[in-house]
Structure 1
């Protein structure tokens, strides 16, 4: 390992930079962009660093010792882990998703890392996340909002319902987040699920913003029984309640 290669790795560690780009490497090495790319290419060939995608690198040591959720939430800034991945992280589900789900503000194609797919899901509702030792992840309350907005990336409504049963939820915060999203179908589905799973929340405040026309609880299923309070057609099987 050359002195410049060692300098880069040491400084990345000192600055706690998990994922880095050529500009950051150039600044650390005080080298031109062209020379920096040559150094990075040599380091990659020596298996000192790994190229996650064009312009994004991680040291091989960090790649091997860091959970993929931590890496995935640092590839794009800003971004955060959510949906089925976050359900698994918090222990709300025993299912282990094969795909890592990352919320981003701009469209981005999926990539593969450590034999897992990382799917970037674009959202315009970019709030309600927290950082835990380099892991940027949805708060539980925002997680369930995301899940109801993108149920196919969370195992479906049945899996979301089962996860809500297992979760400790701040009833005031989840209503605040739902109203911030300002989507009536979301408020209907969320209110119905929270009520059916015996969660404490401000029902009346949420009910003021529900859908005017009946909506299926699970959009992928037909049939069901209408609940007049939330204007939801319940087409799930409630085995755990």
Structure 2
């Protein structure tokens, strides 16, 4: 009777390695690195190639290969996953230095109980210098009379949709990790969904997120993050409006209210019927 192959002998060690690894999603390049680092420890044959190694991982049920097909400018991605891999982990593995944001971040930060079927993946543009940062009321009116611009690069994976957002450069401000998944923190999430409410289920969903955040939010951190992001638009007016509507009152709210309000601003895009908040110099949907 022939003896066991070296792969068969190493199988338990391989299974243990991937079971204990905090990562559940791997690229081809990452598996190649593991192969080079572990081949001697696993006593694999000298003739074994990285391709043969990956084939054996699949054959023995340690990893499963998946393919993600995108609409848009991103090429097809292939990943190798364990049985414990979650869609959120797969999502952030697709783009280097990306993180989850908007509705996905609302869920991970406990701001909604609704499991998002669209997973928002943000990666940041390169830092830009200079540029025209002058703002006029006419430009604001024109921008918010139109629908919010939406990302077009998307992939379907099972019951989920992965949407790629090309975000402005922030130096990854307000990014933390939840279960090894990079995601915007509570305060950054509230700001992001204020800026792009359609990526959060709309303004009523945004307001609910603010209400759910009141017991755990740091207003100092929220305002500091808002200042750090340095938007050209006066989003402090929208953030203050949401905070007040959510039931917050305090010095930080008064600080936001006392800031310069040089322009009339908008809570969201393409509003047909509007009311106006004098306190916040802000248009919002009638009846809200």
- TM bin, normalised by shorter chain, reads 0.7 to 0.9
Equivalence for 1:154: 200
Tell me the distance in 2 between the aligned counterparts of 1:82 and 1:16. 22
Q: Could you give the per-residue CA deviations for residues 132-170 of structure 1, whole angstroms, max 9, x where no partner exists? A: 321322211111111112211111112101221122321
Equivalence for 1:191: 240
TM-score (norm 2): 0.68
Q: CA deviation at 1:174?
A: 0.8
Tell me the distance in 1 between the aligned counterparts of 2:79 and 2:221. 35
1:173 to 217, 221, 235: 221
Is 1:39 the counterpart of 2:61 in the alignment?
no
Tell me the distance in 1 between the aligned counterparts of 2:14 and 2:33. 10
How many aligned positions are there? 233
2:24 to 18, 22, 37: 18
Tell me the distance in 1 between the aligned counterparts of 2:17 and 2:280. 55
In the TM superposition, what are the counterparts of 1:125-136 in structure 2 within 5 Å?
A: 125=170, 126-136=172-182
Gaps of 5+ in 1: none
Equivalence for 1:116: 160
Partner secondary structure for residue 121 of structure 2: strand
Gaps of 5+ in 2: 1-6, 40-45, 68-76, 126-150
Is 1:57 the counterpart of 2:80 in the alignment?
yes
Q: Is residue 81–residue 102 contact of structure 1 (8 Å, CA) maintained in 2?
A: yes
In the TM superposition, what are the counterparts of 1:222-241 in structure 2 within 5 Å?
A: 222-238=272-288
Give the 3 Å change call, closer, same or farther, for CA 12–229 of structure 1 in structure 2: same
Q: Is residue 236–residue 256 contact of structure 2 (8 Å, CA) maintained in 1?
A: yes
Q: CA deviation at 1:209?
A: 5.2
Q: Is residue 154–residue 162 contact of structure 2 (8 Å, CA) maintained in 1?
A: yes
2:266 to 213, 216, 220: 216
TM-score (norm 1): 0.80
Q: Is residue 108–residue 178 contact of structure 2 (8 Å, CA) maintained in 1?
A: no
Q: Could you give the per-residue CA deviations for residues 23-42 of structure 1, whole angstroms, max 9, x where no partner exists? A: 3322322279x921343245
Tell me the distance in 2 between the aligned counterparts of 1:99 and 1:49. 25
**146-155 vs 9-18, which moves further:** 9-18
